[in-house]
Chain A
Amino acid sequence: MSSHVNQARRLLLNILLEARKRGGYAIPESTLKLEICSKVRPQLTDLEWDDLRIELQQREYIGHIPDALDDDKKFFIKEAGETALRS
């Protein structure tokens, strides 16, 4: 796994953890992407981003709030994600 993808994974989990600590908030995918792509170099491609998001969802590290009215999925960190971040 490329180091920039690892860096993005850590940053993504960290952002969601910070949001959880402040009252269990979720972050829209568009904002997450913006936040991560502005800080990780080289920038993640759309494919890398999708792979990362799918991997984290499959591992149950992150989940999203179902919202039929909004395409911009709002993600939150799960217990397993918090444990992974600490390890």
Chain B
Amino acid sequence: MSKPPSNSLYARLTPKQRDQVLHWLIVEAKSLQWARDQIEANCGVDISLMGVSRFLSSHGLPWKMDRAKEAAELAAKAAPKDIEEKIAQGLKQREFEKVFSELTVKELVSLRRLEIAGMKLEVDRRKLALLEKRLAEAQTIVAEAKSKGGLTPETLKKIEEKLRA
């Protein structure tokens, strides 16, 4: 992997902090916004949501692999000492794939949540744009009415219709 840029989140966190952030995002399925706020409050690092997202996509995979490797090695240590090498290897492989698969499923849930949050933001953005458009149209009607002598019940009805449309 190429060296991360000095202004990246990776470069600005200690190894322990990186581990904590990836745990929040993958295992605890916390939102990017939540993680960003915690990073700022606990690590004193000011970072954009995009910066947190990039950190997750660049370092999530090796982090999950490291956790799976640790679990495999722990399982091998806990196994009886007299088992055959082939069986010990099989045990490590099983534990590695189990932990890696579990973390992958958890990360998938986090990614889906992020995707849904992104979609909600887009819907809100569109709603806001629509409201702004209706407001501008209503303001035009008011301005026209004022120039023609004032607001009549018909004008008010037109404005109401515009705002409700």
Q: Contact string, A13-49, partner B, CB cutoff 8 A, digits 1/0? A: 0110011001101111011001100110000000000
B108 within 8 A of A: yes
Instruction: Other than A19-B100, A22-B65, give 13 A-B pairs with Cβ distance below 8 A.
Output: A15-B61, A18-B65, A22-B96, A25-B72, A25-B93, A26-B93, A30-B101, A31-B101, A34-B101, A34-B105, A38-B111, A39-B111, A74-B93
Chain A residue contacts of B62, Cβ below 8 A: 18
Interface residues in B, total, Cβ within 8 A: 19
Q: What's the count of A-B pairs with C-beta under 8 Å?
A: 50
Q: Choose among A14, A38, A74 the residue that contacts B97 (Cβ–Cβ < 8 A).
A: A74
A sample of 28 inter-chain contacts (CB < 8 A) reads A15-B61, A18-B62, A19-B100, A22-B65, A22-B66, A22-B68, A23-B69, A23-B72, A23-B92, A25-B68, A25-B69, A25-B93, A25-B96, A25-B97, A26-B93, A27-B100, A28-B101, A30-B101, A31-B97, A31-B100, A31-B104, A34-B104, A34-B105, A35-B61, A38-B104, A38-B108, A38-B111, A74-B97
Bound complex: CA of A31 vs CA of B108, how far in Å? 11
| Count, chain A residues at interface, CB 8 A | 18
Report the bound CA distance from A27 to B65 in whole Å.
11
Give complex CA distance A19, B66 in Å: 9
Assess whether B42 is interfacial by the CB under 8 Å rule.
Answer: no
Given A18-B62, A19-B65, A39 contacting B97 (CB threshold 8 A): no
Interface residue SS majority, chain B: helix
Q: Please tell me if the beta carbons of A34 and B66 are within 8 angstroms of each other in the complex.
A: no
Across the two chains, which residue of chain B brings its CB closest to A37?
B108
Within 8 Å of chain A (Cβ to Cβ): is B147? no
Please indicate the chain A residues that have their CB under 8 angstroms from the CB of B92 in the complex. Answer: 23, 25
Q: Does B152 contact A (CB under 8 A)?
A: no
Name A18's contact: one of B61, B101, B104 (CB within 8 Å): B61
Q: How far is the CA of A22 from the CA of B69 in the complex (A)?
A: 7
Alpha-carbon distance between A74 and B100 when the two chains are bound, in angstroms: 13
In the assembled complex, the CB of B87 is this many whole angstroms from the nearest CB of chain A, namely: 14
Q: Which of B97-125 contact A (CB under 8 A)?
A: 97, 100-101, 104-105, 107-108, 111
